[in-house]
Chain A
Amino acid sequence: SQTIHQWPATLVQPVGSPLSLECTVEGTSNPNLYWYRQAAGRGLQLLFYSVGIGQISSEVPQNLSASRPQDRQFILSSKKLLLSDSGFYLCAWSIRGQGVTRSGYTFGSGTRLTVV
């Protein structure tokens, strides 16, 4: 069966420090991968998505970047965190080809990031 792992679960970082959040998927190949952010009391904002190794699409200009060094690995990074980067970050995957039409998204358990 397919599983998605996301870590760490919680993170407290000072302003100006770097960030690296990792997401890995098991039990499937060639997934579409996504990073979402959920700010406190607000909905989900799509940050990045990837349809293959090295292929990253950015949805909004921001202080973050994403990379996909391996087929089932998706990394969210920042060189210098801002206070506004605080939030709940969710990784998700969907089946390539069928996309979301049949499988929808499967989400990781999320990372709670607090920038202080």
Chain B
Amino acid sequence: AQSVAQPEDQVNVAEGNPLTVKCTYSVSGNPYLFWYVQYPNRGLQFLLKYITGDNLVKGSYGFEAEFNKSQTSFHLKKPSALVSDSALYFCAVRLRSNDYKLSFGAGTTVTVRA
């Protein structure tokens, strides 16, 4: 069964410092990977995705993620975090053969302090 794990429940960083949110996946075959962000009492917003091609994917709000097949990881990164980046972040994975469903990680709460 496909799965995705976010090993950290919470990440705390100071504004201006680099931000990393970790995600590892376990799928058979080539994964399609996604990152979403959720602000309090709101729906999820798409940040970026990896389907194929360049391992470094750039997305919205200055975020990027690196696909690492050997480590089965897809960590989300931002070089300089903002207080407004404080939110809940979800990693998701989908198998190419099943075009309907995304499997989400448990989420990581990011807090950026001023």
- Interface of A toward B, CB cutoff 8 Å: 6, 9, 32, 34, 36, 42-44, 46, 49, 51, 59, 88, 90, 92, 94, 98-102, 104-110, 112
Q: Tell me whether A99 and B99 are in contact (CB under 8 A).
A: yes
Q: Tell me whether B46 and A104 are in contact (CB under 8 A).
A: yes
Interface of chain A, helix or strand or loop or mixed? strand
Q: Tell me whether B102 and A105 are in contact (CB under 8 A).
A: yes
The segment out of B19-27, B63-71, B73-81, B104-112 that lies at the interface is: B104-112
| Alpha-carbon separation in the docked complex, A88 to B94 (Å) | 23
Q: Tell me whether A99 and B41 are in contact (CB under 8 A).
A: no
Q: Tell me whether A108 and B94 are in contact (CB under 8 A).
A: no
The answer, among A36, A99, A107, A108, for a CB contact under 8 Å with B100, is A99
- Interface of B toward A, CB cutoff 8 Å: 32, 34, 36, 41-46, 49, 51, 90, 94, 96, 99-107
CB distance from A98 to the nearest CB of B (A): 8
Q: Tell me whether B107 and A100 are in contact (CB under 8 A).
A: no
Q: Tell me whether A100 and B106 are in contact (CB under 8 A).
A: no
| Alpha-carbon separation in the docked complex, A76 to B105 (Å) | 23
